[in-house]
């Protein structure tokens, strides 16, 4: 069975919440995500979801790739291929709407390694995600 990428759907929300919990991530709410939690892709092998991520589109030439998360229980050898497919798919979406730059933040070594493999520049200094809920 081969890997396929598709747009996120409302029905994927429970899967994503389960993954975030298993990885000990803070609660991500739909209001934090593009298109109310459907603004991204999910890569599956058959009916098994493997990895997912979101793409924020801005009013500049920049798109922001974020909240990349994977199925912690998926142990197949094509796990890295699925991540590459996700990142490349999000790039394709950004290009299709005229974006010329894509940014992302990450600290996972495999994620950083995959970005490097795909031609991303990775800053050697640690940085921190900074956020504030205004209301």
* SS3 of residue 91 by DSSP: helix
Residue 56 has pLDDT above 90, yes or no: yes
What's 26's DSSP letter?
P
Q: What are the chain's domains?
A: 3-117 (3.40.630.30)
Q: In what order do the strands lie in the sheet with 101-104?
A: 3-7, 40-45, 48-57, 62-70, 101-104
Residue 66 has pLDDT above 80, yes or no: yes
For residue 65, the cross-strand partners are 55, 104
Query: What pLDDT was estimated at residue 135?
Result: 79
What's this model's pTM, rounded to 2 decimal places? 0.90
Query: What pLDDT was estimated at residue 105?
Result: 86
Percentage of the chain modeled with pLDDT above 70 = 100
Query: What pLDDT was estimated at residue 64?
Result: 96
Tens of pLDDT along 97-113?
999 999 998 888 888 88
Q: How far is CA 43 from CA 47, 101, 123, 128, 130, in A?
A: 10, 22, 27, 27, 28
């Amino acid at each position: 069975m081969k890997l396929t990428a598709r747009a996120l759907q409302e029905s994927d929300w429970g899967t994503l919440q389960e993954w975030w919990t298993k990885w000990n991530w803070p609660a991500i709410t739909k209001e934090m995500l593009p298109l109310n939690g459907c603004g991204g892709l999910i890569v599956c092998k058959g009916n098994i979801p493997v990895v997912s991520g979101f793409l924020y589109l801005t009013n500049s030439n920049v798109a922001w790739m974020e909240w990349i998360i994977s199925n912690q229980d998926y142990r197949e050898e094509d796990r890295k291929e699925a991540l590459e497919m996700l990142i490349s798919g999000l790039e394709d979406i950004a290009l299709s709407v005229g974006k010329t730059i894509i940014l992302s933040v990450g600290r996972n070594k495999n994620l950083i390694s995959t970005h490097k493999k795909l031609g991303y520049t990775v800053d050697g200094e640690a940085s921190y995600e900074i956020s504030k809920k205004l209301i």
